[in-house]
């Protein structure tokens, strides 16, 4: 089942993708769920599936404004340098890390499918990072690796857009470079786990203007998805609607020789197989 959040002239809602349309679930289910996050908190995925199975689409996908699947997550946690070849790109001969690198992003730093990504006037080193992102469906704390995946509702595509020079403003200053408004994206929808198969066999591919830039599989994560969930849930309680970006493969623009950064008009496609493809283009943000 593919679930998405969207906006029309009547306001925000969410629903299930069915063919070229969407079954609008906003306010229709037993508990009057008003958002995908509320649906997850009510543990009502099965109810949504039963309803959508017998319902005709209400809206066409091409008439929607896509929002991130969870427009306002309580937490967005991101994992840095989590593919083996990505670690090797740094060329510092350091051994693989013993623990994952974690940072956080704000909801306002993400847009949905087909929305423009904004290159801010403060930087010309705007970069892409295609990733598979976990959407949490059930609460969990101090999870065991053996059953940690049970808290995951689904997977979405993400672009962890980064302002590279701002990441380097301080010794440990990743937060500013990862949180410019509308610099990243998620979507177009969340696919539930029953459609995906093993989580260590997802593919992550990034194209820029049709050119392949990144490609790898989650089999090559340094820290597997169960390990990430166990580690993160040791220090923070995971709640329905939280999102975890699992890391980007090698091939980001900053690591090319010479570096190649995003320009206005560039089209970025992030595909997570078999979830789907997230598409955005770049625009310059107007100075204040």
Does an H or E element contain 52, and which?
helix 45-53
Q: How many CA atoms lie within 13 A of 181 on its CB side?
A: 7
pLDDT digits (tens, 9 = 90+) for 248-281: 999 999 999 999 999 999 999 999 999 999 999 9
Strands 101-105 and 76-80 come out as: antiparallel
Please check the confidence at residue 86 and state whether its pLDDT lies above 70: no
Q: Would you place residue 288 in the very low, low, confident or very high pLDDT band (cuts 50, 70, 90)?
A: confident
| Domains (range + CATH), the chain | 2-67 (no CATH), 76-284 (3.90.850.10)
The backbone torsions φ and ψ at residue 107, rounded to the nearest 5 degrees and listed phi first, read -60, -35
**pLDDT for residue 237 is more than 60:** yes
What does residue 109 show for φ and ψ, rounded to 5 degrees?
-85, 0
H, E, C per residue of 230-242: HHHHHHCCECCCC
Query: With bands split at pLDDT 50, 70 and 90, how would you rate the model's confidence at 30?
Result: confident
- C-alpha span between 153 and 45 (Å, rounded): 9
In this predicted structure, the answer to whether residue 14 has a pLDDT above a threshold of 80 is yes
What is the chain's mean pLDDT, rounded?
Answer: 95
Would you mind telling me the total number of residues written for the chain in this entry?
Answer: 288
* 222/218 Cα distance (integer angstroms): 9
């Amino acid at each position: 089942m593919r679930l998405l959040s969207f906006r029309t002239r009547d306001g925000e809602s969410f629903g299930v993708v069915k063919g070229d349309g969407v079954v609008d679930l906003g306010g229709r289910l037993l508990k009057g769920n008003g958002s995908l996050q509320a649906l997850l908190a009510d543990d009502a995925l099965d109810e949504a599936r039963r309803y959508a199975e017998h319902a005709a689409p209400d809206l066409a996908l091409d008439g929607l404004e896509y929002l991130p699947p969870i427009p306002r997550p309580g937490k967005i946690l991101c994992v840095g340098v989590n593919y083996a070849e990505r670690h090797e790109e740094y060329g510092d001969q350091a051994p693989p890390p013993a623990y994952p690198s974690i940072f956080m992003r704000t909801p306002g730093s993400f847009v949905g499918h087909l929305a423009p990504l904004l290159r801010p006037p403060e930087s010309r080193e705007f970069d892409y990072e295609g990733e598979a992102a976990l959407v949490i469906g059930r609460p969990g704390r101090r999870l065991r690796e053996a059953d940690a995946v049970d808290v995951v509702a689904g997977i979405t595509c993400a672009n962890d857009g980064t302002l590279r020079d701002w990441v380097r403003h301080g010794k440990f200053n990743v937060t500013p470079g990862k949180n410019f408004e509308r610099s990243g994206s998620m979507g177009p929808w969340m696919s539930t786990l029953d459609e995906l198969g093993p989580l260590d066999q997802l593919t992550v591919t990034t194209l820029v203007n049709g050119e392949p830039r990144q490609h790898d599989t989650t089999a090559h994560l340094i820290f597997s998805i169960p390990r990430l969930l166990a580690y993160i849930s040791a220090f923070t309680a995971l709640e329905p609607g939280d999102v975890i970006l699992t890391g980007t493969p090698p091939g980001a623009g900053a690591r090319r020789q010479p570096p190649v950064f995003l320009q206005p008009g560039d089209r970025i496609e992030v595909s997570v197989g078999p979830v789907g493809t997230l598409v955005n283009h770049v625009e310059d943000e107007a100075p204040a």
